[in-house]
């Protein structure tokens, strides 16, 4: 459904993504694991097209020169040069790192801004669905986005992305800075969303352990390159992965 | 009493001038230095349609507002889109457009004190012991309705919410499929229409002169800086502060010090609280 072939991204002369090819099939949850600066966010930005916007802004401000190579295929079409807003319309929606909520808007408004691409009926339906998946938001409806805890913010961020009617949902570090309890809740709800909405989800995360149980397939990034990939079982039984990402020797 | 009534009226007219500027900056981060020119364009277009072509007043107003909106959109689509993100170039480009328009009018013979628009309604009313003409009252009512309307628009419509999202975090909005260039173009159009609304409400009170284009630009910048760049509520409150301060100066010091107030307000704000009353950007930067 969503594939990247030989994706390369350079910031000036520094290579951020090195020949990465990944693939996410329909109704699959794919994990992307790697340490800080392994290239997870760059990969997510490249898939969702935000990289094009970053490149444009950098060019305008006279900042870093960003070079993109390779192809991103979505529903057997090359979308490498498609604008990010059109990619979102096609169904690739990114829920960004650090959530980036609209801090001065209420939770409800955040969700409704997310529903920009949805029809009225879809928006209404999805809004109900979000409240059902995250009942905690029900009480916080009128609270401003900036006054929420990290976990609540993440729920709103995922809900907001869902409002855009994604076919592929990209979650960039959804568990960043959350308590283990909150992490477990979010992961469970992510799985539930995937099942209910029949969408594909790509999760980029530093710590593989909490996410691993729900992924169907995973890639491990190191310094911008995919050093390992495999189904959950394959990676689980790989001694290198065990020691590096699960802390089991 | 006089101070209260005329202070409020002056504040509302300042708010009207500043709203368009604040909106465009808040959403697209482009300081629209052609704001004053758009204001004057609306005045002269209305004048031409009404006096030269002979259309009814109301229709000429609506038409010239449309002209303004289209002009704003074209300005963004063909000029500002190319420099968006380059701070200095945005200012230079939009100011150049503004200059070209204003001086073009002067060159085209729109000079002198002969260009006036009729007021909406003749007559006046006594509020306490202060006479207020109906037009100023209408201006106040429409101004307040406009602010309320804008609030409803930005909180309850799809486009309005998208504009709000973009104003807060452009890239996050982009991830949700909100096309920033299209929205910035819309914002520019709305801003131009707001400048036009201000013009149709304020210009009948005096002459349409090219110079007032510059005056409006300075006032709207003053309002936006005091209120905090990018904050509409801030601009609204700042308009009241500057508006009352101006009237107080007129009453107690002298009317020719009126303009000094606005400039002094800019300077004081920049010294005491550079982010403005309601601005967040600078504070965020400081925190980081």
Q: What's the pLDDT at B288?
A: 39
Q: Residue B39 — very low, low, confident or very high, per pLDDT cuts 50/70/90?
A: very high
Q: Give the residues across from A29 on adjacent strands.
A: A201
Q: How far apart are CA A200 and CA A167, in angstroms?
A: 6
Q: How many domains does chain B have?
A: 1
Please name the member of B86, B164, B175 whose beta carbon is closest to the beta carbon of A88.
B175
Interface membership of B53 toward A (CB under 8 Å): no
Residue B285 pLDDT > 70, yes or no?
Answer: no
Alpha-carbon Rg for chain B, nearest whole angstrom, is 19
Please write the tens of the pLDDT for every residue from A101-140.
999 899 999 999 999 999 999 999 999 999 999 999 999 9
For the packed helices B35-47 and B211-227, what is the interaxial angle rounded to 10 degrees?
Answer: 140
Interface membership of B86 toward A (CB under 8 Å): yes
B173 contacts on A by Cβ (under 8 Å): 113
Interface test with B, best of A47, A58, A85 (most B CBs within 10 A): A85
Residue A27 pLDDT > 80, yes or no?
Answer: yes
Range of the domain at B144: 2-287
The CATH architecture one would assign to domain A2-91+167-246 is 3-Layer(aba) Sandwich (3.40)
Q: What's the pLDDT at A248?
A: 60
Domain CATH number, residue B116: 1.10.3470
Residue B122 pLDDT > 90, yes or no?
Answer: no
Q: What's the pLDDT at B286?
A: 45
Q: What DSSP letter does each residue of chain A carry, written as one string?
A: -EEEEEEEEEETTEEEEEEEEEEE-TT-EEEEEE-TTSSHHHHHHHHHTHHHHHHHHHHHHT---EEEEEEEEETTEE-TTS-HHHHHHHTEEEE-TT----TTSBHHHHHHHHGGGS-HHHHHHHHHHHHHH-THHHHHTTSBGGGS-HHHHHHHHHHHHHHT--SEEEEESTTTT--HHHHHHHHHHHHHHHHHHT-EEEEEES-HHHHGGG-SEEEEEETTEEEEEEEHHHHHT-HHHIIIII---
Please write the tens of the pLDDT for every residue from A51-105.
999 999 999 888 899 999 999 999 999 999 999 999 999 999 999 999 999 998 9
Residue B287 pLDDT > 50, yes or no?
Answer: no
Please name the member of A57, A94, A105 whose beta carbon is closest to the beta carbon of B85.
A57
Interface membership of A101 toward B (CB under 8 Å): yes
Phi, psi of A70 (to 5 degrees): 105, -170
Please write the tens of the pLDDT for every residue from B156-213.
999 999 999 999 999 999 999 999 999 999 999 999 999 999 999 999 998 899 999 9
Residue A43 pLDDT > 50, yes or no?
Answer: yes
Q: How far apart are CA B128 and CA A227, in angstroms?
A: 82
What's the mean pLDDT in A15-29?
Answer: 94
Q: What's the pLDDT at A61?
A: 86
Residue A13 pLDDT > 60, yes or no?
Answer: yes
Q: Residue B43 — very low, low, confident or very high, per pLDDT cuts 50/70/90?
A: very high
Q: Residue B254 — very low, low, confident or very high, per pLDDT cuts 50/70/90?
A: confident
Q: What's the pLDDT at A207?
A: 84
The more confidently predicted of residues A211 and B114 is A211
Q: How far apart are CA B172 and CA B128, in angstroms?
A: 52
Q: Residue B281 — very low, low, confident or very high, per pLDDT cuts 50/70/90?
A: low
Please name the member of B84, B171, B178 whose beta carbon is closest to the beta carbon of A50.
B171
> In chain A, which residues fall in CATH 3.40.50.300?
2-91+167-246
Q: What DSSP letter does each residue of chain B carry, written as one string?
A: -HHHHHHHHHHHHHHHHHHHHHHHHHHH----TTHHHHHHHHHHHHHIIIIII---HHHHHHHHHHHHHHHHHHHIIIIIHHHTT-HHHHHHHHHHHHHHHHHHHHHTT--SS--B---SS--EEEETTEEEEHHHHHHHHHHHHHHHHHHHHHHHSHHHHHHHHHHH-HHHHHHTT--HHHHHHHHHHHHHHHHHHHHHHHGGGSB--THHHHHHHHHHHHHHHHH-TT-HHHHHHHHHHHHHHHHHHHHHT-GGGHHHHHHHHHHHHHHH-TT-SS--HHHHHHH-
What's the mean pLDDT in B60-81?
Answer: 96
Residue B282 pLDDT > 80, yes or no?
Answer: no
Interface membership of B85 toward A (CB under 8 Å): yes
Q: What's the pLDDT at A137?
A: 95
The more confidently predicted of residues A207 and B161 is B161
The answer to whether A158 touches A94, Cβ cutoff 8 Å, is: no
Q: Residue A230 — very low, low, confident or very high, per pLDDT cuts 50/70/90?
A: very high
Please write the tens of the pLDDT for every residue from A140-183.
999 999 899 999 999 999 999 999 999 999 999 999 989 999 99
- In the numeric block, the tokens 């699960």 are attached to A246
Instruction: Output the average pLDDT for chain A.
Output: 93
């Amino acid at each position: 459904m969503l594939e990247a072939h030989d994706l390369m991204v350079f910031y000036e002369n520094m290579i951020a993504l090195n020949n990465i090819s990944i693939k996410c099939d329909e109704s699959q949850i794919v994990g992307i694991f790697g340490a800080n600066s392994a290239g997870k966010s760059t990969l997510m930005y490249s898939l969702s097209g935000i990289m094009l916007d970053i490149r444009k802004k950098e060019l305008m401000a006279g900042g870093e020169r960003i070079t993109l190579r390779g192809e991103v295929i979505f529903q057997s079409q090359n979308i490498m040069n498609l604008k990010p807003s059109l990619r979102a319309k096609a169904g690739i929606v990114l829920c960004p790192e650090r959530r980036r909520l609209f801090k001065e808007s209420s939770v409800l408004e955040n969700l409704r801004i997310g529903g920009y691409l949805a029809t009225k009926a879809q928006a209404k339906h999805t809004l109900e669905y979000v409240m059902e998946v995250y009942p905690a938001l029900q009480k916080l409806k009128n609270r401003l986005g900036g006054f929420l805890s990290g976990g609540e913010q993440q729920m709103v961020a995922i809900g907001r992305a869902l409002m855009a009617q994604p076919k592929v949902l990209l979650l960039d570090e959804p568990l960043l800075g959350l308590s283990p309890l909150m992490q477990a809740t979010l992961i469970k709800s992510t799985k539930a969303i995937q099942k209910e909405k029949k969408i594909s989800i790509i999760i980029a995360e530093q710590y593989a352990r909490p996410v691993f149980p729900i992924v169907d397939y995973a890639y491990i990034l190191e310094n911008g390159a995919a050093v390992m990939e495999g189904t959950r079982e394959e990676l689980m039984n790989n001694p290198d992965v065990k020691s590096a990402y699960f802390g089991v020797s | 009493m006089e101070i209260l009534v005329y202070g409020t009226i002056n504040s509302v007219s300042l708010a009207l001038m500043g709203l368009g500027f604040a909106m465009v900056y808040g959403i697209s981060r482009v300081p629209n230095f052609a704001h004053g020119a758009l204001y004057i364009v609306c005045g002269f277009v209305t004048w031409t349609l009404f006096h030269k072509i002979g259309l009814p007043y109301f229709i000429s107003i609506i038409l010239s507002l449309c002209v303004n909106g289209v002009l704003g959109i074209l300005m963004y689509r063909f000029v500002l889109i190319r420099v968006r993100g380059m701070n200095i170039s945005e200012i230079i480009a939009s100011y150049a457009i503004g200059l070209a328009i204003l001086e073009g009018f002067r060159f085209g013979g729109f000079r002198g004190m002969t260009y006036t628009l009729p007021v909406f309604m003749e007559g006046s009313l006594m509020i306490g012991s202060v006479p207020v003409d109906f037009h100023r009252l209408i201006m106040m009512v429409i101004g307040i309705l406009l602010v309320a309307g804008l609030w409803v628009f930005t909180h309850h419509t799809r486009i309005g919410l998208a504009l709000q999202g973009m104003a807060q975090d452009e890239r996050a909005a982009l991830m949700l499929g909100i096309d920033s260039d299209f929205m910035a173009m819309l914002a520019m159009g709305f801003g131009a229409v707001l400048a036009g609304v201000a013009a149709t409400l304020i210009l009948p009170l005096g002459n349409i002169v090219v110079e007032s284009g510059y005056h409006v630009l300075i006032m709207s910048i003053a309002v936006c800086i005091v209120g905090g760049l990018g904050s509409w509520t801030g601009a609204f409150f700042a308009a009241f502060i500057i508006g009352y301060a101006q009237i107080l100066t007129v009453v107690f010091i002298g009317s020719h010090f009126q303009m000094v107030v606005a400039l002094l307000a800019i300077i004081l704000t920049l010294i005491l609280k550079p982010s403005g009353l309601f601005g967040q950007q600078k504070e965020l930067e400081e925190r980081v």
